[in-house]
Amino acid sequence: MHLLWIQPVKIIDPHLVSSFFDRYTRVYLHATTELENRSSWVAECSLNIQVTTELEGSVCLMEHLKTQHVSIPPRARIQYTFPQLFFYKPNLWWPNGMGKQSLYNVSITVDVKGHGESDSWGQLFGFRKIESHIDSATGGRLFKVNGQPIFIRGGNWILSDCLLRLSKERYKTDIKFHADMNLNMIRCWGGGLAERPEFYHYCDVYGLLVWQEFWITGDVDGRGVPVSNPNGPLDHDLFMLCARDTVKLLRNHPSLALWVGGNEQVPPADINTALKNDLKLHPFFESQSEYITSVEGLSTAYKDPSQYLDGTRVYIQGSMWDGFANGKGGFTDGPYEIQNPEDPFKDNFYKYGFNPEVGSVGIPVAATIRATMPCEGWQIPLFKKLPNGYTEEVPNPIWQYHKYLPYSKPGKVHDQIELYGTPEDLDDFCLKAQLVNYIQYRALLEGWTSRMWSKYTGVLIWKTQNPWTGLRGQFYDHLLDQTAGFFGCRCAAEPIHVQLNLATYFIEVVNTTAEELSNVAIEASVWDLEGACPYYKVFDKLSLPPKKVVSISEMKYPKSKNPKPVFFLLLKLYHVSNYSIVSRNFYWLHVSGGDYKLLEPYRNKRIPLKITSKTFIKGSSYEVEMKVLNKSKKPDPKTLTYKNNFAVRNDDSDFDMTSLKPIPDTRTDLKQPTGLFQRLYRQFSRESDSLRVAEINGSDGGVAFFLNFSVHGAKLEHEEGEDSRILPVHYSDNYFSLVPGEEMSIKISFKVPPGVSPRVTLRGWNYHHGVHTVL
């Protein structure tokens, strides 16, 4: 009774909806909430709705404040709809890569006469309109956000953790990782669950559209061998109760893009009908490209859209229906195996417009294998030669249990690790696997974007993460360390991207933005294993239209008189006016019918590097900016592209270092540890309190290949299998390469546990002895 006296009126499940008029210049916010009077007397209420937006320095601007008087009978629950709130040219919410994720804080409070504030509710809300339809050109489902078509490049999400250890901090890392990869959609797979509100909050913050499935999957609901229960789940009424509750929980998130009945299966007929009816669109959201000039233009017969259960998002009955896969429910997603890198660019690779699942390999780094498995699991697969010339991989039983996916498919794809030479041990295997991971996922996404709008409208990778320590289909492992595939994806999915079509060898530029790019050029350079540049060409005076793929010219080096059997290709798209880089893409390639075995002796190269670091700290948070220079050759002073000054993107930066302070350099002992971490000859420069310079000596010229930063605790001695890594770490780039004279700035951010000093190390393919401490 005491709680009832304090809180006589309860706010229940408010619903916020925005409607746009005059091509997004005039916007109305509709809000409906339920109010429950738990007292035995009539509650005279003052109901307030307030909308604010945050300005610089945590200062909030009041956009709207409206107060209404409401009387609620005793023990009654009523539904109340506020008068609509008008906004002129509000800041819009955009998906990742399309613009900023502008969010407004909407709060509702209820004051009861004689009792003061009884209840309050708050929600971050984004003004945006999401539409989708089946595209006539491709047959795939095409999404639009605020009237702009968006090419979907996303991933399948299983669930955060197999033991349901759901934390806000983990959600934040997971979602930011997806944004760091330049993805714009996450599919919450029907074999998982609806995550906690924090998951969707961070999708709002980082701009990840959410494809939300209900809990139906063909694995257990009517498909498989033997056939499972086609009428599952067992309790249909309970299912619908949970479904309606989930809709109310999630519907106010701007990131939520669509509802889907289930994975590779349609729900039982009664559930499917109920979901269709409950999630039917409000008439205002049914039209695709028609604009009404005023709110009065809506028929008075229409209910306020916020009075619907949802009313703003499309419901699709299953993941392979209505514009996904073949659109009719046939098993036409996939494939889920290693591919030849050139295959995704070919006409016959995948013939439907939107693939909800395409998967591949995902072995993590060796440290993760050692940290998650007993020593029996450290044995690499056996490479079994077959009569047809292919290799079959035979993994150990522990890897089989963890769903290891081989890097070969006998009869179709030669072993992609073996192209670099038969691996010697776990470290060698996992390093070569990272080379393949990078190529594999970059090629998958570049192949899709090469056919943007002409053949495809979107693709979702199976899968981006693991809720356990799996060994397939992942961009980062369960311990939150990224594979090289993470950075191959990040490269391929950038909003404006220069790439090589691996089937035709034509250079292409993909512009997924709404802006034309003019007065730009492409620099294409080939580098051999001796550090020479046998091919250099600039394609200038380019204009790149919005939402288009432009084929520039053939890269003809492989057709030259004596091409090297293994070579590197560096592509840079840059602004002619100031040499700022829009897109940079680095390939290692071999001639047709060849392999990468010449890269094995290339590991003995000693490429001189200069690493300048600047460190910032705020509490336990560290930000490190590493500038890495390949000193093996002086750059041509006629061009400034070697500096890799990247152009600023219009949307929010991934790495904000403005609130952090430099760490003073207080170390007096700069002596290098011996043993695992080899002695590094270096000199520290006190250019400022936080600047440090590390020199890696070397007399060879050439490409500093496949450089990889990692962060560790500063414990010098480790037992075998002990994991010294500090995780998670956010990198602006990693697994990167530098041609002679080129420099690159890498930003690294992480948090350290109490009492731990971080140590940043650098690995590289060219360093025979492995690891160098650079900070």
Task: Cite the residue boundaries of each domain of the chain with CATH code 3.20.20.80.
Answer: 131-286+306-362+441-493
* Residue spans of beta strands (DSSP E) within 126-205: 130-134, 141-145, 148-150, 152-157, 185-188
Query: Would you say residue 162 has pLDDT above 70?
Result: yes
The pLDDT value given to residue 696? 87
Q: Tokens standing for 611?
A: 């690493």
Q: Are 97 and 182 in contact (CB under 8 A)?
A: yes
Q: Are 213 and 183 in contact (CB under 8 A)?
A: no
Percentage of the chain with pLDDT > 70?
Answer: 90
Mean pLDDT of 175-179: 98
Rounded Cα gap, residues 370 and 669, in angstroms: 31
R_g of the chain, CA atoms, integer Å: 28
The pLDDT value given to residue 295? 58
Longest dimension (CA), the chain: 94
The pLDDT value given to residue 4? 46
* pLDDT tens track for 123-140: 999 999 999 999 999 999
Residue 288 pLDDT class (50, 70, 90 cuts): low
The one-character DSSP state at 679 is -
Catalytic residues: 264, 357
**Highest CATH level, class, for 131-286+306-362+441-493:** alpha beta
Rounded Cα gap, residues 121 and 99, in angstroms: 28
* Number of other residues whose CB lies within 10 A of the CB of residue 527: 24
| CA count, 13 A, side-chain hemisphere, 399 | 26
Tell me the one-letter amino acid at 611: I
- Smallest CA-to-CA distance from 508 within 445, 456, 571, 560 is with 571
Q: Tokens standing for 281?
A: 């669109």
Residue 502 pLDDT class (50, 70, 90 cuts): very high
Q: Report the CATH number of the 609-653+683-773 domain.
A: 2.60.40.10
Q: Give the range among 57-71, 150-164, 238-252, 613-627 with minimum mean pLDDT.
A: 57-71
The pLDDT value given to residue 678? 31
Residue 677 pLDDT class (50, 70, 90 cuts): very low
The verdict on domain 497-602 having CATH code 1.10.260.40 is no
**Within 181-321, where are the H helices?**
197-206, 236-250, 269-278
Q: Are 533 and 475 in contact (CB under 8 A)?
A: no
Q: Give the range among 4-13, 159-168, 333-342, 718-727 with minimum mean pLDDT.
A: 718-727
* pLDDT tens track for 602-631: 999 999 999 999 999 999 999 999 999 999
Residue 718 pLDDT class (50, 70, 90 cuts): low
Q: Tokens standing for 667?
A: 């170390």
Residue 559 pLDDT class (50, 70, 90 cuts): very high
**Within 423-563, where are the H helices?**
426-450, 484-492
Task: Cite the residue boundaries of each domain of the chain with CATH code 2.60.40.10.
Answer: 9-125, 497-602, 609-653+683-773
For the chain, what is the mean pLDDT? Answer: 90
* pLDDT tens track for 94-130: 999 999 999 999 999 999 999 899 999 999 999 999 9
Q: Which of the pair, 680 or 579, is modelled with greater confidence?
A: 579
Instruction: Give the chain's length.
Output: 775
Which residues have a Cβ under 8 Å from the Cβ of 236 and sit 6 or more positions away?
268, 270, 271
Place of tokens 């993760």: 368
* Number of other residues whose CB lies within 10 A of the CB of residue 139: 19
- Between the two ends of the chain, the Cα-to-Cα distance in Å is 61
Rounded Cα gap, residues 569 and 506, in angstroms: 13
Q: Are 69 and 44 in contact (CB under 8 A)?
A: yes
Query: Would you say residue 674 has pLDDT above 80?
Result: no
Query: Would you say residue 185 has pLDDT above 60?
Result: yes
The pLDDT value given to residue 671? 35
Query: Would you say residue 775 has pLDDT above 70?
Result: no
Buried b (16+ CB within 10 A) or exposed e, 203-236: bbbbbbbbbbbbbbbbebbbeeeeeeeeebbeee
Rounded Cα gap, residues 129 and 257, in angstroms: 9
Mean pLDDT of 76-86: 96
Alpha carbon 506 to chain centroid, angstroms: 27
* pLDDT tens track for 297-331: 555 456 899 999 999 999 999 999 999 999 999 99
* pLDDT tens track for 238-267: 999 999 999 999 999 999 999 999 999 999
- Smallest CA-to-CA distance from 490 within 209, 174, 172, 734 is with 734
Rounded Cα gap, residues 640 and 655, in angstroms: 24
- Smallest CA-to-CA distance from 607 within 706, 689, 525, 692 is with 706
**Highest CATH level, class, for 9-125:** mainly beta
Rounded Cα gap, residues 402 and 406, in angstroms: 12
Rounded Cα gap, residues 200 and 189, in angstroms: 14
Which residues have a Cβ under 8 Å from the Cβ of 324 and sit 6 or more positions away?
140, 141, 316, 354, 355, 356
Query: Would you say residue 686 has pLDDT above 90?
Result: no
Place of tokens 């409607």: 19
Which helix (H) or strand (E) segment is 397 a member of?
helix 397-401
The pLDDT value given to residue 340? 97
